[in-house]
Amino acid sequence: MGRPCFSEALRVHPGRGGCGVGAVADLGGPSRQVVLDALAGLSAMEHRGGCLEATGDGAGLLLRTPRRFFERFVPSARSLAEGEHLSVGMLFFPPGEEGNLPPTQQEIDFVFRREGLKPLAWRKVPVDPTALGEGARRSRKEIWQILVGSGMVARAQLGRALFRVKSRLEHHFRDLYVASLAPDTVLYKAMATGAQLARFYPDLEDPGFVTDLAIFHRRYSTNTFSNWYLAQPFRVLGHNGEINTIKAARSAVRNLEAELGLPGLLMHQGSDSADLDRMVELLVTHGVPLLEALVRLLPAAWADRPAGTVPKEMLAWQRAVRRAMGSLAAWEGPAAVVATDGRWLVGLLDRMGLRPLRWLRTEGGRIVLASEVGAVPTGGSEVVEVGQLDPGEALAVDLDTGQVVRPDAVPQVLLATTRLNHRELATEGLL
């Protein structure tokens, strides 16, 4: 049985609440400690989450996929070819539908094959419902993972192919929720508290479940109801804040759906955070670097900074972004965002800095981002660098190369990697 919630008092004093978000990365490679630290950070920010009668508003981990853990679930008859990429999707089916799942899963397999991908196996995710509160148990989904080989799809095109599959699945199967389906990440989330999450998902307690990146989020529901789909992180990011311009942003995305011929870009009855995630995902899967995608949608007030502190070319780039994006850039409001595309980890604050986000680096190459100092346990002697993001600032980490892009270097990195023809203020082509 779930225990009473520490944060039930927040229902009476909502001003004390605000989602807790963070990340742990290890530049030295995958380890069990990354998962344990992320779970510890999740539990340490329980006071930032919402909970009623032992049912949490939501908690989750978005991780770089631990492939060795999942490879053992691939049947020998369908083994991966040498060099073939393994992706893992996390799907929520409606409760009580287990008997009808085989034909539905066969239809889903067909959608993957149409994209040139190779569905390898379905895995029913082990769960322990007794870890949850009664409300979460009543609404619990049938949770499955699909293991997918890249098949005939080139590595560079894999993200876009999986994105098309996600859009078609959620458009065709209205009761299906694709929690995550990406080349390099997998998402474990639930209508739970931080302490309940690992008990609900035994995978997270398995010694063989190792990774070098985990984003964690503890949700406090403010302007939407609590449910399994709205628990965070989402597919790309965890968000503490709210988008005040969400009506305009959604209208612009719906117009884009018609232009691209991709229905269902926005989550059905989703939250503002969910739709921000979908927009970032769209940009990233179409070739926009993660850091740039976030800065396009949540730009810094560079034009208002003292003369000479921001490169003129950066100001020209920002003007070009406004022209290229138009109303699609209407994402304004308090935001502390932590995001990943499976290679890069990015933390970013909105231009007003209305939510906190701190970071540190240890001597051993561990990076921690969190809403609060001390959320993730670290030995004081290990810490070699600390910082707090100021309004409009971002921090980015390349897990493959170990590069850490500090806030003052972000403009240079954006200019070096953008595909936007900002020198001519080109307006042709959104992406």
pLDDT digits (tens, 9 = 90+) for 374-422: 899 887 779 999 999 999 999 999 999 999 999 999 999 999 999 887 7
Average pLDDT over residues 39-59: 87
What pLDDT shows up at residue 220? 81
Rounded CA separation 288/81 (Å): 29
Q: What is the pLDDT of residue 291?
A: 98
Which whole-number Å values give the CA distances from 375 to 8, 20, 219, 359, in the listed order?
Answer: 20, 9, 15, 11
Catalytic residue chosen out of the listed positions 19, 190, 192, 246: 19
Range in 44-48, 250-254, 300-304 with the lowest mean pLDDT: 300-304
How high is the mean pLDDT of the chain? 89
Question: Is the pLDDT reported for residue 329 higher than 70?
Answer: yes
Q: Which residue has the higher pLDDT, 265 or 132?
A: 132
- For residue 57 the two structure tokens come to 């508003």
Residue-level pLDDT at 11: 41
In angstroms, the CA 4 to CA 260 distance is: 47
Dihedral sign for Cα atoms in the order 12, 192, 5, 42: negative
What's the pLDDT tens digit per position in 23-34? 999 999 999 999
Q: Does domain 6-424 have CATH number 3.60.20.10?
A: yes
| Residue 211, pLDDT score | 99
* Residue pair 167/159 in contact by the 8 Å Cβ criterion: no
Query: What mean pLDDT do residues 202-215 have?
Result: 98
Residue 5 among the catalytic residues: no
pLDDT in tens, 341-382: 999 999 999 999 999 999 999 999 999 999 998 899 887 779
Q: Which of 345, 238, 347, 213 is nearest to 20 (CA)?
A: 238
Q: What is the pLDDT of residue 21?
A: 95
Least confident of 183-192, 232-241, 284-293, 308-317: 308-317
Phi, psi of 376 (to 5 degrees): -105, 125
Is residue 430 pLDDT above 50, yes or no?
A: no
16: confidence class by pLDDT, cuts 50, 70, 90: very low
User: In the chain, what are the domain boundaries?
Assistant: 6-424
CA quadruple 341, 346, 349, 350: dihedral sign: negative
Q: What is the mean pLDDT of residues 194-211?
A: 97
Q: Hey, what's the torsion of the CAs at 269, 270, 272, 278, to 10 degrees? A: -130
pTM of structure = 0.93
- pLDDT the model gives residue 377: 87
